[in-house]
Structure 1
Amino acid sequence: MATMDPRADIREFLSSRRARITPAQAGLTAYGGNRRVKGLRREEVALLAGVSVDYYVRLERGGLAGASDGVLEALASALQLDEAERRHLFHLARRSGTPRRRRTTATVRSTLQQVLDAISDAPAWIGNGRYDVLATNQLARALYSPVLADPRQPANTARFVYLDPDAAREFFIDYDHVADAVATKLRMEAGRNPHDEELISLVGELSTRSEPFRRRWASQDVRLHRSGRKRVNHPIVGRLDLDVEPLELAAEPSLHLNVYTAPAGTPTADNLALLASWAASNH
């Protein structure tokens, strides 16, 4: 895969969302017992969205460029899209014009590194939508040591998960959940930045070398970055059940700050303190 085709992405996304909804789920009466399509027909989506069949066919064939917000909202409602899917639809529409190959930053400002270094009791790191690990504090370097062991820089969590699956399964207790999240968030990023050369290269590499990634990528599923729980099996201190908060950086919209914490008095908090002591002694 040398390029991404926004029109093909639109076609596959809309058709996959249409295929998962039955007429009954959409509140429609299904006439005839021998439907040849899975899910809704195009004319049924057009009816639900309040547009002509010809116009919807043009949209599904990749012609989202120029579609109004009202049409996109009606389409999202007709296809029962969740928040992540709705945002993805808008990204696809707004980025489906003339391709502009671009590179995105792989560095962070020195002041952001100062912010990271000031966070001493919690692992914290800055990444982008491609899962590049761009900057870390000392505790994050200790926590993510298996990921950061990759000689390629910047280290990339997606490559670790899919191209070193044995190590990733040993590190991430909920490996399948993590693998799903990586693929769906990369798909979301591809809708946001379809002409990002580094992203195109990453998706191409993962698609070529990992069948599980190809399968998940083909699902067209998308997901937002949300707070949650991440469970890891650290090679030094053992199991850590961490609360994760991804924070968007207003001055750097392509980057996010991830902070991992644990409630005081829990085994994970004790193990984090042990990890901090180990990291300081090996600094």
Structure 2
Amino acid sequence: MDSPQAASSRGLLADFLIARRSAVTAAEHGLPEPAYPRRVPGLRREEVAQLAGISTDYYSRLEQGRVRTASYSVLNAIAQALRLSEDQQRHLFQLARPEALEQPGEAEQHITPQTARLLANLVDTPAVVFGRYLDILAWNRLGAALLGDLAAMPPKHRNYVRMIFLDDHVRFLQGDDWQARAQEAVSSLRMAAGAYPDQPRLQELVGELSVRDDDFRAWWSQHLVTVHSFGHSRVQHPIVGEFSLDWQALTSVDDQEQIIVLITAPPGGPDHAAIKRLNSWALGQGLQPSHPQGHGP
């Protein structure tokens, strides 16, 4: 089983390099194809080394886990050779320079009273606060109307990555966009694993999902890394039907590991009308926002 620590004794950096190398073709770099078929997809180690301007032996040792870090210039060169996106480059640096990261420990996260007030004041906007590993820390009534009765869930099950794979309602909600949304969730969790690989909560979550869902296990092993701060989704709700939503993720100033996600629709249109119907239904069902757990002034 692939854990957040490592898929093998090689380590996370080596596993990430191997996964990304297999996803890049020689044609993307204009390299000639050999006369004989490649045994595995993607570039060869010597081709990556050549493109990065480093020795094949040194790059091989990185992939074998015998070298677990590298200089910024070498990492930049490897990133270019592997055609990494900005998010993937940031992840690469996290894996190769772990000493630069402050480990958060397993301290329980709480929202501030100001954030709790913000959620309460959003009467026509579904809103959710995510913590590290996409645990759901807080929500307003419309957030519960959209994602399900969050207050009734066991706290450990109140995790967006877990819900999008294992919760029937959240999976149905995504409609035809499920794969894209699920891969985004895996990518966010992979970024967290790169930053803080040794946390028991993260290991438990990845372990459970790897055992229970084939798609999660496959995408986790591919080291997907793509992070979006805003987007557009078409959802299907069992009560109000199908409608479109825009969402935006805002980082909390008080805690950089907390993300406030606001879900909106243009006022006056059919999608905004669907949100209003959703709110009326939520009131009738008695769905509750999260209880304020804030600390501080």
Deviations 1:124-144 (A, max 9, x none): 111024221101122212222
Q: Does 1:163 align with 2:194?
A: no
Residue 145 of structure 1: which of 141, 144, 148 is its match?
Answer: 148
Deviations 1:219-265 (A, max 9, x none): 22122133111232223322231101011223311111100000122
Q: Superposition pairs for residues 19-34 of structure 1, below 5 Å?
A: 19-34=22-37
Inter-partner Cα distance in structure 2 for 1:128 and 1:63: 34
Hey, what does 1:91 align to over in structure 2? 94
Q: How far did residue 100 of structure 1 move?
A: 7.0
Aligned length: 282
Q: Does 1:214 align with 2:230?
A: no
Deviations 1:6-32 (A, max 9, x none): 543222221121122232322333444
SS in 1 for 2:239: coil
Contact 1:159–1:206 (8 Å) recurs in 2: yes
User: Normalising by structure 2, what TM-score?
Assistant: 0.84
Q: Superposition pairs for residues 260-279 of structure 1, below 5 Å?
A: 260-279=263-282
SS in 2 for 1:223: coil
Q: How far did residue 101 of structure 1 move?
A: 9.0
Percent identity of paired positions between Structure 1 and Structure 2: 39
Pick 1 or 2: higher relative contact order, CA cutoff 8 A, min separation 6. Answer: 2
Q: Does 1:119 align with 2:110?
A: no
Q: How far did residue 202 of structure 1 move?
A: 0.4
Contact 1:172–1:232 (8 Å) recurs in 2: yes
Residue 197 of structure 2: which of 176, 182, 194 is its match?
Answer: 194
Hey, what does 2:294 align to over in structure 1? none
Inter-partner Cα distance in structure 2 for 1:104 and 1:10: 26
Change (3 A) 1:23 1:235: closer
Q: Does 1:47 align with 2:50?
A: yes
Inter-partner Cα distance in structure 1 for 2:100 and 2:4: 13
Residue 176 of structure 1: which of 161, 175, 179 is its match?
Answer: 179
Inter-partner Cα distance in structure 1 for 2:26 and 2:199: 38
Letter in 2 for 1:244: W
Letter in 2 for 1:235: P
Change (3 A) 1:82 1:140: same
Hey, what does 1:61 align to over in structure 2? 64
Hey, what does 1:230 align to over in structure 2? 233
Change (3 A) 1:27 1:117: same
Inter-partner Cα distance in structure 1 for 2:55 and 2:152: 55
Letter in 1 for 2:4: M
Inter-partner Cα distance in structure 2 for 1:267 and 1:64: 56
Deviations 1:80-139 (A, max 9, x none): 111221111111112279997931533222222122222222111110242211011222
Q: Does 1:72 align with 2:72?
A: no
Change (3 A) 1:3 1:14: closer
Inter-partner Cα distance in structure 2 for 1:88 and 1:21: 17
Contact 2:163–2:171 (8 Å) recurs in 1: no
Spell out structure 1 runs of 4+ moving beyond 6 A. 96-101
Q: Does 1:252 align with 2:248?
A: no
Change (3 A) 1:201 1:187: same
Contact 2:148–2:170 (8 Å) recurs in 1: no
User: Normalising by structure 1, what TM-score?
Assistant: 0.88
Q: Does 1:239 align with 2:235?
A: no
Letter in 2 for 1:5: Q
Inter-partner Cα distance in structure 2 for 1:154 and 1:105: 15
Q: How far did residue 280 of structure 1 move?
A: 4.3
Inter-partner Cα distance in structure 2 for 1:137 and 1:256: 14
Unpaired stretches in structure 2, ≥5 consecutive residues: 289-297
SS in 1 for 2:197: coil
Letter in 1 for 2:246: D
